[in-house]
Copies of this chain bind each other. A is one copy, B any other.
Amino acid sequence: MALIVQKYGGTSVGSPERIENVARRVARWHARGHQLVVVVSAMSGETNRLIALAKEIQEQPDPRELDVMVSTGEQVTIGLLAMALKKVGLKARSYTGAQVKIITDSAFTKARILKIDEERLRADLDDGCVVVVAGFQGVDEHGNITTLGRGGSDTTGVALAAALKAEECQIYTDVDGVYTTDPRIVPEARRLKTITFEEMLEMASLGSRVLQIRSVEFAGKYKVRLRVLSSFEDEGDGTLITFEEDENMEQAIISGIAFNRDEAKITILGVPDRPGIAYQILGPIGDANVDVDMIVQNVGYDGLTDFSFTVHRNDYQKTLKTLEPVVKHIQARGIISGDKIAKVSVVGVGMRSHAGIASTAFRTLAEEGINIEMISTSEIKISVVIDEKYTELAVRVLHKAFNLDQAS
Query: Footprint of B on A, CB under 8 Å?
Result: 16, 19-20, 50, 53-54, 56-58, 61-62, 64-69, 71-72, 75-76, 78-80, 82-84, 86-87, 93-94, 96, 98-99, 143-145
In the complex, residue of chain B having the shortest beta-carbon distance to the beta carbon of A99: B143
Q: Tell whether A79 pairs with B54 under 8 Å between CB atoms, given A94-B65, A96-B68.
A: yes
B68 touches A86 (CB 8 A): no
- Which B residues lie within 8 Å of A50 (CB)? 76
Docked Cα-Cα span, A69 to B16, in Å, equals: 13
Cross-interface CB contact of A72 among B75, B98, B99, cutoff 8 Å: B75
Question: Which 7 pairs of residues, A with B, have the shortest CB-CB distance?
Answer: A69-B79, A72-B72, A16-B56, A68-B79, A65-B79, A65-B82, A58-B83
Copies of this chain in its oligomeric complex: 2
Docked Cα-Cα span, A53 to B72, in Å, equals: 14
A68 touches B58 (CB 8 A): no
- Closest CB in chain B relative to A357 CB, distance in Å: 51
Most B C-beta atoms less than 10 A away, residue of A19, A67, A145: A145
Docked Cα-Cα span, A387 to B76, in Å, equals: 45
Q: Provide 15 A-B residue pairs closer than 8 Å at the C-beta atoms, listed in order of the A residue.
A: A16-B56, A16-B57, A20-B57, A54-B80, A57-B80, A57-B84, A58-B84, A64-B82, A65-B78, A65-B82, A68-B78, A68-B94, A71-B75, A98-B98, A99-B143
- Closest CB in chain B relative to A153 CB, distance in Å: 17
- Closest CB in chain B relative to A253 CB, distance in Å: 49
Docked Cα-Cα span, A67 to B96, in Å, equals: 12
Docked Cα-Cα span, A144 to B82, in Å, equals: 14
- Closest CB in chain B relative to A204 CB, distance in Å: 31
Docked Cα-Cα span, A152 to B50, in Å, equals: 24
B68 touches A75 (CB 8 A): yes
In the complex, residue of chain B having the shortest beta-carbon distance to the beta carbon of A71: B75
- Which B residues lie within 8 Å of A143 (CB)? 99
In the complex, residue of chain B having the shortest beta-carbon distance to the beta carbon of A80: B57
- Which B residues lie within 8 Å of A72 (CB)? 72, 75-76
Docked Cα-Cα span, A297 to B299, in Å, equals: 107
- Which B residues lie within 8 Å of A82 (CB)? 62, 64-65, 68
- Closest CB in chain B relative to A12 CB, distance in Å: 15
Cross-interface CB contact of A83 among B62, B79, B86, cutoff 8 Å: B62
- Which B residues lie within 8 Å of A83 (CB)? 54, 57-58, 61-62, 65-66
B57 touches A19 (CB 8 A): yes
- Closest CB in chain B relative to A309 CB, distance in Å: 37
Docked Cα-Cα span, A53 to B83, in Å, equals: 11
- Which B residues lie within 8 Å of A54 (CB)? 79-80, 83
Docked Cα-Cα span, A132 to B326, in Å, equals: 47
Docked Cα-Cα span, A143 to B56, in Å, equals: 33
In the complex, residue of chain B having the shortest beta-carbon distance to the beta carbon of A68: B79
B58 touches A79 (CB 8 A): no
- Closest CB in chain B relative to A289 CB, distance in Å: 22
- Closest CB in chain B relative to A296 CB, distance in Å: 43
In the complex, residue of chain B having the shortest beta-carbon distance to the beta carbon of A66: B79
- Closest CB in chain B relative to A268 CB, distance in Å: 41
- Which B residues lie within 8 Å of A87 (CB)? 57-58
Docked Cα-Cα span, A290 to B78, in Å, equals: 33
Cross-interface CB contact of A53 among B61, B65, B80, cutoff 8 Å: B80
- Closest CB in chain B relative to A404 CB, distance in Å: 43
User: Can you name 9 extra interface pairs (CB under 8 A) apart from A62-B86, A65-B83, A68-B75?
Assistant: A19-B57, A53-B80, A57-B84, A62-B82, A62-B83, A64-B82, A64-B94, A69-B76, A69-B79
- Closest CB in chain B relative to A133 CB, distance in Å: 12
